[in-house]
Amino acid sequence: MRVAEKRKWAERVAEELDEEALLSDDVTLVFHAGKDYYEELLPYIDSIGASVEIPTNGLSIGEKQAWYKERL
């Protein structure tokens, strides 16, 4: 997707998360997706105060595969 499309998608997802009361400071969202899927969403989440964990952040694809293999 182009950046504008990603931002529109992220805004919609943030609204849906908010409707489900998942964007509060007592919630931790854990992303198991690539950066392309969450990078435009993070500013919305950060502005509201929910915590975010990205367990495989910074790992190469091979390292990510090993990380998941160890946990499944």
> pLDDT higher for 25 or 13?
13
Per-residue pLDDT tens digits for 21-57: 999 888 999 999 888 889 999 998 888 878 999 999 9
Taking only Cα atoms into account, the Rg of the chain, rounded to an integer number of angstroms, comes to: 13
pLDDT of residue 8: 95
pLDDT of residue 37: 86
pLDDT of residue 46: 85
Helix, strand, or coil here: 48? helix
pLDDT of residue 36: 87
Amino acid at residue number 19: E
Per this entry, what is the length of the chain? Answer: 72
Token pair belonging to 18: 């908010």
Cα(40)–Cα(32) distance, integer angstroms: 15
